Structure 1
């Protein structure tokens, strides 16, 4: 799962791949991964609470 998230965020945030990430690319990837993890948590909590 983390590899898929990383790939999707990399594709979204890095327009011109090079030998290193710029600060804005790094920030974009970090925010992207944080949002994905937050959304996964929300969906998981919703599924578990609806099963009770």
Structure 2
């Protein structure tokens, strides 16, 4: 079965999978941004005000960098594990 019939329109399986992967990537990016914002705000902002102080700006920048670095390490390890498991099958 190379294609799926939906409402009279033929959609190839690969195209559908690409769309699903893109939607998952967008959802993951939104989740990362939300979690990063929550965690870094909680860690770096003691008393919210109308502007950020210099130390708060630096803390947020470093927190976000660390969070993204950590996410990338975990994501890469997970991807590698999935690839190893696929090769075993």
Normalised to the residue count of structure 2, the TM-score between the two structures is 0.55
Structure 1, unaligned runs of 5 or more: none
CA-atom RMSD in angstroms:
0.9
Q: Mark the runs of 5 or more structure 2 residues left unpaired by the alignment.
A: 1-30, 85-89
Q: Looking at both structures, which has the greater relative contact order when contacts are Cα pairs under 8 Å and sequence separation is at least 6?
A: 1
- Give the TM-score normalised by the residue count of structure 1: 0.89
User: In the comparison of the two structures, how many residue pairs are matched?
Assistant: 52
Question: More strand by proportion, 1 or 2?
Answer: 2
Structure having the higher Rg = 2
